[in-house]
């Protein structure tokens, strides 16, 4: 199948705030090849990533992603890996290339799955997909009372695990953090799994993070996620030596396999969290899953937008029975929910399964996408390089 067209759709809520909520906008990718239409999604700044596809070449190691994709043949997973390697070489210094390519790569797996009548996880070599325990992924409230209420709500909705992140955590006093943690524990109940995401708040300040460890141990948190900048491996490694019951999680910032391996090898995380929409797609994420399994590190998906992205994020470890935890954005913005016509819902045990339908098994909702579609153009010296394509 020859890649005939790659179209990018920039979707956005009417108002975007500075909250750490990644579901406020999205970049959706549509690929046409061999008479099949397939879909993917980038985890990215949409317009910046579109520019990476169409921008003029800066020099030999900084070429637009389009130059390595359009017209290429895709008949097997090896073809996807071949195009990925070409982009890595041709777009070496084009820093948004990994994000842009990630959405295309996901769509190419969807394409192959649809063409072969197989779910993506089978194309990755897994015989079956195991159920994952969905953790309700949400932001801390502005006050401990709000944190308590949101954690109680997800508990009542049937979730057995919750993650609170970003918001005020780590920005104020130890007492304020302690109050939020106690509220989260009270909300999810004594037997619920509690996960905490610091959202890189301490940069590389190991002492600031270390000061929170007794608080996290006190509420029996399972992990502390992203205490530091995504590449501050030395800080991660130093903090890992100080941890006891609370383990470190990180990796969502990885936009290549090397960064993910460094997070494991030097950052010494116990949970490696990979976003397929950022690391270069499903193929590299599967490599990380295999690497993590070999090192005794638990693989976890990272995702915070639509169920198209959620579904893609589970494929790399769908067949790893012992890697059980799964991020499930519990309060996505209407745009992120409505852009898909089909969804992945937790069952009575709070577990989710990827669809067994061909490809990713998710149907997008074109009419809903139109409601949030941003009209954009990129023009250079009068020449139109990009215009929002039609969804019809």
For Mg ion, give the closer residue by CB, 197 or 204.
197
For Mg ion, give the closer residue by CB, 110 or 197.
197
For Mg ion, give the closer residue by CB, 250 or 281.
250
Nearest approach, Cβ of residue 253 and Mg ion (Å): 9
Nearest approach, Cβ of residue 197 and Mg ion (Å): 4
CA distance 195 to 103: 28
For Mg ion, give the closer residue by CB, 163 or 323.
163
CA distance 21 to 333: 8
> Is residue 306 within 8 Å of 340, Cβ to Cβ?
yes
CA distance 294 to 286: 12
Calculate the alpha carbon distances from 131 to 134, 275, 309, 312 in Å: 9, 19, 17, 15
Nearest approach, Cβ of residue 121 and Mg ion (Å): 24
- Which residues have CB under 8 Å from 383's CB, separation 6+? none
- Burial group, residue 198, by CB count within 10 angstroms (0-12, 13-18, 19+): buried
Number of helices followed by number of strands (H, E) in the chain: 16, 14
Stretch 62-121 residues interacting with Mg ion (CB under 5 A): none
What are the b/e assignments for 375-392, b being 16+ CB within 10 Å? Answer: eeeeeeeeeebbeeeebe
For Mg ion, give the closer residue by CB, 72 or 205.
205
| 21 binding Mg ion? (CB under 5 A) | no
Stretch 156-215 residues interacting with Mg ion (CB under 5 A): 197
For Mg ion, give the closer residue by CB, 94 or 292.
292
Position closest to Mg ion via CB = 197
Instruction: Please choose, from the candidates 384, 372, 269, 336, the residue with its C-alpha nearest in 3D space to the C-alpha of residue 43.
Output: 336
Nearest approach, Cβ of residue 300 and Mg ion (Å): 10
For Mg ion, give the closer residue by CB, 25 or 327.
327
For Mg ion, give the closer residue by CB, 53 or 299.
299
Nearest approach, Cβ of residue 152 and Mg ion (Å): 22
- Per rule CB under 5 A, count of chain residues that contact Mg ion: 1
> Is residue 309 within 8 Å of 279, Cβ to Cβ?
no
In sign, the C-alpha dihedral spanning 277, 278, 281, 287 is negative
Nearest approach, Cβ of residue 327 and Mg ion (Å): 8
Nearest approach, Cβ of residue 200 and Mg ion (Å): 8
Calculate the alpha carbon distances from 45 to 22, 80, 97, 100 in Å: 10, 23, 12, 9
Nearest approach, Cβ of residue 8 and Mg ion (Å): 25
Binding site for Mg ion (CB under 5 A): 197
């Amino acid at each position: 199948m020859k890649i005939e067209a790659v179209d990018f759709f920039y979707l956005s809520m009417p108002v975007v705030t500075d909250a750490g909520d990644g579901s406020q906008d999205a970049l959706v990718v549509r690929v046409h090849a061999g008479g099949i239409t397939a879909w993917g999604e980038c985890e990215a700044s949409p317009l910046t990533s579109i520019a990476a596809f169409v921008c003029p070449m800066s020099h030999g190691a900084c070429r637009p992603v389009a130059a390595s994709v359009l017209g290429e043949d895709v008949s097997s997973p090896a073809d996807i890996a071949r195009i990925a390697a070409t982009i890595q070489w041709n777009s070496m210094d084009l820093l948004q290339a990994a994000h842009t390519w990630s959405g295309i790569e996901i769509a190419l797996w969807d394409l192959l799955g649809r063409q072969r009548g197989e779910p993506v996880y089978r194309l990755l070599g897994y015989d079956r997909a195991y159920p994952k325990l969905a953790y309700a992924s949400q932001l801390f409230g502005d006050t401990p009372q709000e944190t308590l209420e949101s954690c109680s709500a997800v508990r009542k909705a049937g979730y057995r695990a919750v993650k609170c992140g970003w918001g005020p955590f780590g920005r104020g006093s130890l007492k304020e953090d302690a109050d939020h943690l106690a509220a989260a524990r009270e909300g999810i109940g004594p037997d619920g799994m509690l996960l905490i995401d610091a959202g890189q708040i301490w940069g590389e300040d190991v002492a600031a993070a270390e000061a929170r460890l007794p608080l996290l141990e006190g509420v029996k948190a399972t992990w502390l996620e992203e205490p530091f900048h995504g590449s501050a491996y030395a800080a991660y490694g130093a903090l890992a030596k100080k941890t006891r019951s609370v383990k470190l999680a990180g990796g969502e910032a990885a936009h290549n396999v090397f960064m993910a391996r460094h997070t494991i090898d030097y950052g010494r995380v116990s949970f490696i969290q990979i976003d397929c929409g950022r690391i270069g797609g499903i193929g590299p994420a599967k490599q990380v899953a295999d690497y993590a399994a070999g090192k005794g590190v638990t693989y976890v998906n990272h995702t915070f937008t639509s169920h198209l992205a959620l579904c893609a994020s589970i494929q790399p470890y769908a067949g790893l029975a012992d890697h059980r935890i799964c991020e499930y954005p519990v309060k996505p913005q209407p745009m992120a929910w409505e852009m898909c016509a089909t969804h992945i819902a937790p069952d009575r045990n709070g577990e989710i399964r990827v669809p067994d339908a061909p490809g990713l098994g998710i149907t997008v909702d074109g009419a809903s996408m139109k409601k949030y579609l941003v009209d954009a153009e990129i023009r250079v010296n009068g020449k139109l390089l990009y215009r929002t394509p039609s969804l019809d």
